[in-house]
Structure 1
């Protein structure tokens, strides 16, 4: 019997594939193949991504794609959600599961609904998210290509650039373990001073011990007054 060759598993989809598929799923009349093809055109120039807005010139026409940004509280939650991949982000690596981590706390990087994405073009043939002119398609296709080269642009589009995000992540407590319980961890973990061993006779006697006369009684074969002296010393030593 001939063994069936194993089918290789594919890696994570590229950011361009994810982005274009997401835009297509919004139902605004744009299709992934159309955007990809027009986005690679030499007609697309001066592409830039700023918090909340992406812009380009397509065939001499200005075109914009605005995306709802996260506010300060949402970014705080987003940074907490990214804690499992913090070290990879600080190493300038953008993990493929970053969007899934953010989506779990209701803050997906990619637009989740058409109302989040506002499209506009100077050609005048677009209106809000329903614009489907070729300039808009080219801008979104060019954006997809840019996300493959620098996925951190997705964060910038949502309102936080790479430098600021990494600065916040560096200040955040490390998720690798608990913080020290003492501001001076060296002292906290130091071996404590040993307790004085029981039964030492070279300690200076306390005044009350001088008044304790021999009783003549024994406990376990030892003079009772000696045992009482040791007990008293243990109770009164600083």
Structure 2
């Protein structure tokens, strides 16, 4: 029984292995080769193979430096057998962990319960011998044999079966459990990530980073800590810092405009994050890129700039101030689609016109329909100062006349009567 705080794994007794070999992996076969080249009496090993094949090896306990099991002779006599394997020193473990952390492919192989030859070869090149060699498997048995007896031989054959399933058994024998190994590899991998930029800066190296193979990066996922939970969406976009300082700006820098752009960046980032966290985000197509004119209108709508900056945006967009104000109102009611309806007068085709007329004819009860005067995609209510505009998407947009200009009056809808009813009738005649 292990009375120390050392890691230990216990494997249940395995069933008989009739008609099959004890090791199919190359590392399991290397274990058996070390046994067979160490034992002085081949007949003892032959008897041990028979005991193992008949399932006479009990539960196997593995801990650093020692593997133990109770083995029954064919006459029913039970003996405790132990096989000892030298642990790796702390310095050897450091070399092995440094080597393994440099190539996540090594880690991936172990996590897949494999021990590729290049891992063992790289470890040997670092002065660390993982697999046992001649004389490394030292026997101890209750039968008091001084060399490998049938009991320790049977135990070794059973361990070969365990190694086939899980090479971490060998690493535990060498002194470290699977959890200890992965934790230490994680620490070393994180330290390398932190150290790499500093080393690159010190060396003055330029050019693209060397990187690692995609399969190695993916394989390392099991030794990395889980990603933290996503932070909640903030209540509102953040406020940019004020640029009003004692130091005056350069001649070609407008602090007010710069603050406006910073505030707009915060608003856009907030909107993008809210959209990304919303249900069904992955199913929605990406938004189309805005034209410079659309983006200028969006910018004013989102940031509400001061008069001076607003005049600059209007001049840059080619709109008069009143035109820009109306365009911003349209944007607030429906984004780019509403702005297109405000800017564009188009002639519906026969099918579109028939659909629009059918919607208008069915929108009001007999005698309740207002008198409408059509012009392309616009139907003006005669004598009321209100207007319906038909969008290319089949929706209706309400407008009203203010100071001789048609301005957006509300969001779009499918029902022209409902859309028009929501407009506060303004004084003034028709267009």
Structure-2 change in CA distance of 1:101 and 1:26 (3 Å): farther
Give the equivalent residue in structure 1 for 2:347.
none
Structure-2 change in CA distance of 1:65 and 1:90 (3 Å): closer
Q: Does 1:119 align with 2:139?
A: yes
C-alpha distance after superposition, 1:121-180 (max 9, x if no partner)? 1011x22xxx13111110110110110111100000001110000101111136789722
Unaligned runs of 5+ in 1: 1-11, 183-200, 204-238
Match of 2:185 among 169, 183, 194: 169
Give the equivalent residue in structure 1 for 2:343.
none
Match of 1:108 among 118, 125, 129: 129
Q: What is the distance in 1 between the residues matched to 2:179 and 2:55?
A: 30
Give the equivalent residue in structure 1 for 2:159.
143
Q: Does 1:57 align with 2:70?
A: yes
Give the equivalent residue in structure 2 for 1:48.
61
Give the equivalent residue in structure 1 for 2:96.
78
Q: What is the distance in 1 between the residues matched to 2:25 and 2:179?
A: 26
Q: Does 1:179 align with 2:196?
A: yes
Q: What is the distance in 1 between the residues matched to 2:62 and 2:37?
A: 22
Number of residue equivalences: 169
Match of 1:96 among 107, 116, 120: 116
Q: Does 1:17 align with 2:29?
A: yes
Structure-2 change in CA distance of 1:61 and 1:102 (3 Å): same
Structure-2 change in CA distance of 1:47 and 1:89 (3 Å): same
Q: What is the distance in 1 between the residues matched to 2:44 and 2:116?
A: 20
Deviation of 1:110 (Å): 1.6
Describe the SS at the equivalent of 2:132: coil
Answer whether contact 1:63 1:136 (CA < 8 A) is retained: yes
The range that moved more, 135-144 or 32-41, is 32-41
Greater C-alpha radius of gyration: 2
Unaligned runs of 5+ in 2: 1-23, 73-77, 200-249, 253-431
Structure-2 change in CA distance of 1:202 and 1:146 (3 Å): closer
Answer whether contact 1:47 1:55 (CA < 8 A) is retained: yes
The range that moved more, 104-113 or 45-54, is 104-113
Answer whether contact 1:67 1:117 (CA < 8 A) is retained: yes
